[in-house]
Chain A
Amino acid sequence: MPSTLVIGGGPAGLAAAWAAVQTGDTVTLLDDNPALGGQIWRGEIPSRYRRFLDPRVTVRTGVQIHSAAQLPSADRIILATGTRERFLPFPGWTLPHVLGAGGLQAMVKSGLPIAGKRVVVAGSGPLLLAVAAYLRKRGAKVLLVAEQAPYARVAAFTRSLWRQPGKLLQAAQLGLGLRYRTDSWPLRAAPGSVTLQGHGVLPCDYLACGFGLVTNTELPELLGCKVESGAVITDSKQRTTVPHIYFAGAGSVDRSILEGQIAGFDLERARALYPARDAAVRFDRLLDETFQLRSELNTLATPETIICRCEDVPFSAVWQQRDWRSAKLQTRCGMGPCQGRICGPALEHLCGWPAASVRPPIFPTRLENLLDLRE
């Protein structure tokens, strides 16, 4: 039986593993989190997708892939390594009450009580609404959802949803009862508060903040897949530029699931899903345009604002460097244990520096795990 290895147990990875099992493959799925479901589901997989948890899939959680040499051999590899939030530095963004939007949601899903807490959700993109709705359901007082995008764009986008009734319903449900404000973004945070553009100071227990998503391209890149402007290059069957390696799961949940299935299925079944996937890709493009980050966000960081949280490198040290590599070598920016995953996308935005190349280990790992690597 041909074998398929799936890396990542979020919507795309689960869909891919399930689809691959349908084609008769022996399937192994690895994920670094303690539970399946990825960042979005986190162990709480919606009932209509439970079928993806096919008992024929061998699942190993808590396994972090840091080097290519660590991958079990397989006829086909499907990478579904997901996305992370983009954070943009502003004064006070390193304070402990400031978390990612997805970050705070993840903490609540994993046991942080939020009932009665005052939360401001800020940044950009549809994730803000999803997070706000979730937090509210868990009893948080969501004071405001501040979206940096301009009103006109968001309004045009909402109108366009008429053509996608399912989505509209979702958006309406999400929006229900939330104070949503466009043209607003965090200017600075101080202990116990945030100052928002156009709104002034808001006292809060948490500021949950994210500026869109960045694809985790480290593993694809490590395996030699071509990555261009932050996206893994794939063909219609989700094949990367490396034979036998597929990539699925850029963008929204719906798209991720479709991409996962297309990667997992045989060609014939996959083809049937192309139109739906292509529509999802178009929808994601619309989202990208709507929630494009405005240039004012590039002026939030002051000279003292820390850009690299691992090494505490202030913006003043970084901005005079010629490029990412000089910044790393001369200021230690990006040289800490997050390996530039937080400051890299921020600097891509602030200074226009493209991401640097990757080397194993792509995550910090105990030295013991590197003792038996093979070619």
Chain B
Amino acid sequence: MIAVLINGRRIDVEPGTTVAAAVMRLQAGFRRSVTGELRGPLCGMGICMECRVTLNGRPHERSCQLLCAPGMEISTDA
């Protein structure tokens, strides 16, 4: 199992789990749109940008294209 932190909460996931799937497992929201709506993944393939999160301090990372790695710190808008 791989442990990552999402908004400060620890979650253990199977290897091969994407950050997007991990965030959804925790039922955390993803991003706030520019007018403040809550959004989540749409395409699952790196195209729509709706699944963006802040990864290890870097904003705008596409969580559906990233595999969870030990110790990752992920924060979302909601």
Our verdict on whether A and B bind, yes or no, reads yes
Q: How far is the CB of A209 from chain B (nearest CB, A)?
A: 9
A122 within 8 A of B: no
Is A43 an interface residue when CB atoms closer than 8 A count as contact? yes
CA distance A96 to B14 in the complex (A): 24
Contact between A103 and B49, CB atoms less than 8 A apart: no
**A90 at the A/B interface (Cβ < 8 Å)?**
no
CB-based nearest B residue for A105: B44
Residues of B within 8 A of A87 (CB): 42
> Contact at A102–B21, with CB atoms within 8 Å?
no
Q: Across the interface, which residues of B come within 8 angstroms of A364, CB to CB? A: 49, 60
**B9 an interface residue at 8 Å Cβ cutoff?**
no
Q: Which B residues from 36 to 78 make CB contacts under 8 A with A?
A: 37-50, 52, 60, 64-68
Interface of A is mostly: loop
Chain B count of residues within 8 A CB distance of the other chain: 36
The B contact surface, by secondary structure, is loop
Say if the beta carbon of A309 comes within 8 Å of chain B: yes
Partner pick for B43 among A35, A103, A311, CB 8 A cutoff = A103
Among the 9-residue stretches A20-28, A109-117, A293-301, the one with 4 or more Cβ atoms under 8 Å from chain B is: A109-117
**Once bound together, how far apart are the Cα atoms of A282 and B61, in whole Å?**
40
Distance between Cα atoms of A106 and B18 in the complex (Å) = 10
Contacts of A100 in B (CB 8 A): 42-44, 48
In-complex Cβ contact of B42 among A33, A43, A309 (8 A): A309
Establish whether residues A312 and B37, one from each chain, have CB atoms under 8 Å apart when the complex forms. yes
Least CB separation from A102: chain B residue: B44
The smallest beta-carbon distance between A243 and chain B, in angstroms, is 29
Chain A hits for B43, CB < 8 A:
84-85, 100, 102-103, 106, 342
In-complex Cβ contact of B46 among A32, A99, A102, A312 (8 A): A32
Are the C-beta atoms of B48 and A110 separated by less than 8 Å? no
Q: In whole angstroms, what is the CA distance A97 to B29 when docked?
A: 11
Is the C-beta of B5 less than 8 angstroms from some C-beta in chain A?
Answer: no
What sequence of 0s and 1s flags, for each residue 153-164 of chain A, a beta carbon within 8 Å of any chain B beta carbon?
000000000000
Residues of A within 8 A of B17 (CB): 110-111
Is A342 touching B47 in the complex (CB atoms < 8 A)?
Answer: yes
A312 touches B34 (CB 8 A): yes
The list of the 6 closest CB pairs from A to B, nearest first, reads: A111-B17, A106-B44, A111-B21, A96-B40, A103-B44, A110-B18
Instruction: State the A residues within 8 Å of B (CB).
Output: 32-35, 39, 43, 64, 84-85, 87, 94, 96-100, 102-107, 110-113, 306, 309-312, 336-338, 341-342, 363-364
- 19 new A-B contacts at CB < 8 Å, known A34-B67, A111-B13, A338-B48: A32-B65, A33-B45, A39-B45, A96-B40, A99-B42, A100-B42, A105-B44, A107-B21, A110-B17, A110-B18, A111-B16, A111-B21, A112-B21, A306-B37, A309-B39, A309-B42, A338-B47, A342-B48, A363-B46
Q: List 29 A-B contacts (CB under 8 A).
A: A32-B46, A32-B65, A33-B46, A34-B66, A34-B67, A97-B40, A99-B44, A100-B42, A102-B45, A106-B43, A106-B44, A106-B64, A107-B20, A107-B24, A107-B64, A110-B17, A110-B20, A111-B17, A111-B68, A112-B24, A309-B42, A310-B34, A311-B34, A312-B33, A312-B37, A336-B49, A337-B60, A338-B48, A341-B48
